[in-house]
Chains A and B, each alone.
Chain A
């Protein structure tokens, strides 16, 4: 237990691949928290998926000792979908290390998070990382840090996570510059939950920062927003493995095994207090999870519905931002409508369902939540295009708009602006973060942002553009529903809501994409796009002409059967809609409309 004035709580803000994990590992090593021989590569990232996506989803805090101080490194999620989680991690700190890759410069999202840290009153320590790389121009990066965030030359540190250069100086700067926590040790307990995860043995584990008061092993705890109470099972700190302790006091960071069964009961941003002596007011800033992107999840095989339900329930244990409810589609049968923080969140959930839970999944195209004003004056939220009311009853449809920040090399500004224009974006501002890189600020509809915008941005800027976005407001728009008919029947799961001006083109492109994605069947399959019952585009998948294993291999029936079994497996991954087999990719065809528009 440390004296309040000897505690330093900080996080590291960095873009993917700018070396956060390597530097964090180096901090653990230099402080002797983890002896060198026990160092595992990239210690803080634990989940396989996180490594593949190059991001850290689940924050953790690690305690270190440096020059008689207790340093708590609080990890932050690194993706735009998790802005709220980032803000709660920041709220648990007094300081932030802003890590910028010497060869890459500052990225849009890093900048957004750095602004967030400044707004929350954190002491930000700028560090230029990877100084061991050849052909780098430190002056350019220094200028970026000056122009964008107003740092002075002498505030900027240089480091290399790879060689360990500058790491001791950084630790010293953290001790010197980051303020000690403030808080009232005698007040009723108020601890900020900045992360939580589900542990199969310990139930929900909350990562907390004690703001006021203290918490002891065996206390009965209360969560102020969800109003849950529980006897805590274990109290501890990560060093970096979990080590149980007796007490956590004001200013400290640690974990609590809450004894709760679902992370939804123990939400990020909530305030943890004592049941015996509850705080009067929770800490500010709590916000329930707000899904922005929605998609239908259906089992490829109707009989797998219980498995999908079970898998979603298990995922939800560990992901409070994942919301879902049962949904029925005429085309796809029984499934779920799920809400996500963003497109990446959706992809992660989808991959985990398929990879960890082995559920064959049909995911429909992602949709945003529209607000429909009806003639009766009601406002209806619609997150599934198929449920859009009869156009005759609609006065107005509103869609969510986002504030978007893009940082891009000046050489690629033209193509990037073109991409944005195609996405109905309006330019608010353009400035320069340094002589070679521009910062573009746009407003654009979220529905355009989630359809392939990021990929196009990356490809048109040769991978150099970076992106950050946040919700702005709902705005009225001239929107229509585009329906897809396969062999004359409407496939509700393929309907999209689109801007009227673009509906014709989208219809044609979508139909042509579907023709390429739906395999040949035993008969001709007609694919049509329609608006309000009027067909605007039509194509045909011609019938399959030959599919036969003719050769008689000396009575080798086994081999024929195995080849047929493979074929049957392929069929299983498709969804029977009427008498047409539609593969999973077809339901995401709308994501590829952008390739041709």
Chain B
């Protein structure tokens, strides 16, 4: 643990719920807000002690909408973090919702030592924002990005494509707008709507949100088909490559030396701690997660009960899948050192068919996804499962 760990902090509060979102979220004015932040600080303190006050190599404050926190709340959180950990991050990101970040809040975050801002722009098209159920305006994103850069922060733009009614030309404009703002990093996600209940998703359809369920059904029915979404993805690859962004992960592009170090930690299967509702942790080869539901999380955090471990986790399969998400791919020499010959044989066997179908290409002992492979990654990954 000398090199330090990643730390993810989850702030679930949102001014309004985005109907496609599967994260643990809660209304900004929830009566649980104070209790939640207290519980979060308790968890931070306890974990810091348990891990022997490790160095935080990367910090990521996600949500929810962390940018909604008041300056006093940010200071308390910052204090708790410094108390529990050696906070000297090479990268510290906060997720920001356009139109929520004012100067006072930004200063409070800067005081905590953030270096990077990830902006949930999603689209610069008013129709797109409406189709996604977003409440901000296109110009809010522009203003927030400029403010972040003026404050000396690295920037990321999140974009979503494949919303109902989106044409190739619409998406082209969004991409050109994004490039014109010259962020350091761009994430492009196809709109993925889960329709079936899942225990790990707090607000899945059927979980007491009929309005949400209807929205998802309706939106999913009106989305472009897979071929259409594939075309949009290819377009993003073209536009961003020409603008000097490296496509380093399935949904992520970055300027040189601007890849997200924190997220690279996930894909490289490094150690990280997640605190807050629904946060995931990977420490010492064990995956675990906090309860998604706010009250349950608070009760757990207060009583000091452990995160629940993912007993079905299969480190060999997961490490291979995560590595393949990156353009650097899966290096079987390193993989052999970690998991042994038999695991390597298994991976080679699992990838044989998708290699023939040209979803995976080989360069020596290194396997990586082809352009088609990135679009059909699930076909590749499903074969890596035990």
Given contacts A554-B279, A558-B289, A571-B382, contact A548 B376 (CB under 8 A): yes
Please state if B23 and A550 are interface contacts (CB–CB under 8 Å): no
Q: Which of B25-33, B77-85, B140-148, B312-320 contacts A (4 or more CB under 8 A)?
A: B312-320
Q: Which residues of A contact B8 (CB under 8 A)?
A: 554-555
Q: Which of B125-133, B173-181, B210-218, B222-230 contacts A (4 or more CB under 8 A)?
A: B222-230
For B347-371 the 0/1 string (1 means CB < 8 A from A) is: 0000001101101000000000000
A488 → B minimal CB distance (Å): 16
For A554-597 the 0/1 string (1 means CB < 8 A from B) is: 11111111101101100100000001000000000000000000
In the bound complex, CA of A544 to CA of B60 (Å):
35
Q: Which residues of B contact A559 (CB under 8 A)?
A: 198, 200-201
Given contacts A554-B280, A557-B280, contact A547 B377 (CB under 8 A): yes
**241-265 of chain A: CB within 8 A of chain B:** none
Q: Which residues of A contact B282 (CB under 8 A)?
A: 555, 557
Q: Does A546 contact B (CB under 8 A)?
A: yes
**190-235 of chain B: CB within 8 A of chain A:** 190, 192, 198, 200-201, 226-227, 229-230, 233
The 27 sampled A-B contact pairs (Cβ below 8 Å) are A522-B357, A523-B357, A544-B379, A545-B227, A546-B375, A546-B376, A547-B375, A547-B378, A548-B190, A548-B374, A548-B375, A549-B192, A550-B189, A550-B251, A551-B192, A553-B22, A554-B23, A555-B265, A556-B280, A556-B289, A557-B287, A557-B322, A558-B310, A559-B200, A560-B321, A562-B200, A568-B382
Q: Which residues of A contact B354 (CB under 8 A)?
A: 522
Please state if B376 and A544 are interface contacts (CB–CB under 8 Å): yes
Q: How large is the interface on B (under 10, 10 to 19, 20 to 34, 35 or more residues)?
A: 35 or more
A558 → B minimal CB distance (Å): 5
Additional pairs, 8, CB under 8 Å, beyond known A548-B374, A554-B8: A548-B190, A551-B189, A552-B263, A556-B289, A557-B313, A558-B200, A559-B201, A564-B382
Q: Does B272 contact A (CB under 8 A)?
A: yes
Given contacts A546-B376, A562-B198, A567-B382, contact A555 B274 (CB under 8 A): yes
Given contacts A557-B287, A562-B198, contact A551 B280 (CB under 8 A): no
Q: Which residues of A contact B261 (CB under 8 A)?
A: none
Q: Which residues of A contact B313 (CB under 8 A)?
A: 557-558, 561
In the bound complex, CA of A551 to CA of B62 (Å):
14
10 A-B pairs with least C-beta separation:
A545-B230, A550-B251, A522-B357, A546-B226, A548-B377, A555-B266, A545-B227, A547-B378, A546-B230, A545-B226
Q: Which residues of B contact A567 (CB under 8 A)?
A: 378, 382
Please state if B381 and A564 are interface contacts (CB–CB under 8 Å): yes
Please state if A552 and B375 are interface contacts (CB–CB under 8 Å): no
Q: Which residues of B contact A555 (CB under 8 A)?
A: 8, 265-266, 272, 274, 280-282
Please state if B385 and A546 are interface contacts (CB–CB under 8 Å): no
In the bound complex, CA of A556 to CA of B289 (Å):
8
Please state if B190 and A546 are interface contacts (CB–CB under 8 Å): yes
Chain A interface (Cβ within 8 Å of chain B)?
A: 522-523, 544-562, 564-565, 567-568, 571, 579
Please state if B227 and A546 are interface contacts (CB–CB under 8 Å): yes
Q: Which residues of A contact B359 (CB under 8 A)?
A: 522
Q: Which residues of A contact B356 (CB under 8 A)?
A: 579
Given contacts A550-B190, A551-B192, contact A545 B62 (CB under 8 A): no
Q: Does B250 contact A (CB under 8 A)?
A: yes
In the bound complex, CA of A267 to CA of B382 (Å):
49
For B249-271 the 0/1 string (1 means CB < 8 A from A) is: 11110000000000101100000
Q: Which residues of A contact B201 (CB under 8 A)?
A: 559
Total CB contacts across the A-B interface at under 8 A? 116
Q: Which residues of B contact A557 (CB under 8 A)?
A: 266, 280, 282, 287, 313, 318, 321-322
Q: Which residues of B contact A554 (CB under 8 A)?
A: 8, 10, 23, 60, 62, 274, 278-280
In the bound complex, CA of A579 to CA of B314 (Å):
27
A575 → B minimal CB distance (Å): 15
Nearest residue, chain A, Cβ from B251: A550
Q: Which residues of A contact B374 (CB under 8 A)?
A: 548
A549 → B minimal CB distance (Å): 6
Please state if A550 and B250 are interface contacts (CB–CB under 8 Å): yes
In the bound complex, CA of A545 to CA of B359 (Å):
12
Please state if B385 and A568 are interface contacts (CB–CB under 8 Å): yes
In the bound complex, CA of A549 to CA of B192 (Å):
8
Given contacts A552-B251, A555-B274, A558-B310, contact A564 B198 (CB under 8 A): no
In the bound complex, CA of A562 to CA of B382 (Å):
10
Nearest residue, chain B, Cβ from A552: B263
Q: Which residues of A contact B252 (CB under 8 A)?
A: 552
Q: Which residues of A contact B317 (CB under 8 A)?
A: 561
A147 → B minimal CB distance (Å): 55
In the bound complex, CA of A570 to CA of B12 (Å):
34
Q: Which of B200, B230, B278, B376 has the most CB of A within 10 A?
A: B376
Please state if B385 and A547 are interface contacts (CB–CB under 8 Å): no
In the bound complex, CA of A549 to CA of B191 (Å):
10
Nearest residue, chain A, Cβ from B359: A522
In the bound complex, CA of A553 to CA of B374 (Å):
18
A188 → B minimal CB distance (Å): 65
B252 → A minimal CB distance (Å): 8
In the bound complex, CA of A130 to CA of B353 (Å):
63
Q: Which residues of B contact A548 (CB under 8 A)?
A: 190, 250, 374-378
Nearest residue, chain B, Cβ from A570: B382
Nearest residue, chain A, Cβ from B314: A561
A563 → B minimal CB distance (Å): 8
In the bound complex, CA of A522 to CA of B250 (Å):
18
**278-314 of chain B: CB within 8 A of chain A:** 278-282, 287, 289, 310, 312-314
In the bound complex, CA of A565 to CA of B383 (Å):
10
In the bound complex, CA of A376 to CA of B238 (Å):
69
Nearest residue, chain A, Cβ from B381: A564
In the bound complex, CA of A559 to CA of B292 (Å):
13
B203 → A minimal CB distance (Å): 13
Q: Which residues of A contact B263 (CB under 8 A)?
A: 552
Q: Which residues of A contact B230 (CB under 8 A)?
A: 545-546
A522 → B minimal CB distance (Å): 4
In the bound complex, CA of A97 to CA of B227 (Å):
64
Please state if B376 and A547 are interface contacts (CB–CB under 8 Å): yes
Q: Which residues of A contact B226 (CB under 8 A)?
A: 544-547
B200 → A minimal CB distance (Å): 5
Q: Which residues of B contact A546 (CB under 8 A)?
A: 190, 226-227, 229-230, 233, 375-376
A553 → B minimal CB distance (Å): 7
In the bound complex, CA of A552 to CA of B268 (Å):
13
Given contacts A551-B189, A565-B385, contact A556 B200 (CB under 8 A): yes
Given contacts A549-B378, A557-B266, contact A564 B10 (CB under 8 A): no
Q: Which residues of A contact B381 (CB under 8 A)?
A: 560, 564
In the bound complex, CA of A406 to CA of B21 (Å):
57
Q: Which residues of A contact B249 (CB under 8 A)?
A: 552
Nearest residue, chain B, Cβ from A566: B196
Q: Which residues of A contact B200 (CB under 8 A)?
A: 556, 558-559, 562
Q: Which residues of B contact A565 (CB under 8 A)?
A: 385
Q: Which residues of A contact B60 (CB under 8 A)?
A: 554
In the bound complex, CA of A561 to CA of B289 (Å):
14
B362 → A minimal CB distance (Å): 17
> Which one, A545, A551, A556, A579, contacts B251 given CB within 8 A?
A551
Q: Which residues of B contact A551 (CB under 8 A)?
A: 189, 192, 251
In the bound complex, CA of A560 to CA of B377 (Å):
12
In the bound complex, CA of A568 to CA of B379 (Å):
9
In the bound complex, CA of A557 to CA of B267 (Å):
10
> Which one, B198, B281, B289, B379, contacts A547 given CB within 8 A?
B379
In the bound complex, CA of A565 to CA of B386 (Å):
10
Q: Which residues of A contact B385 (CB under 8 A)?
A: 561, 564-565, 568
In the bound complex, CA of A553 to CA of B229 (Å):
20
Q: Which residues of B contact A522 (CB under 8 A)?
A: 354, 357, 359, 376, 379
Q: Which residues of A contact B279 (CB under 8 A)?
A: 554
Q: Which residues of B contact A550 (CB under 8 A)?
A: 189-190, 192, 250-251
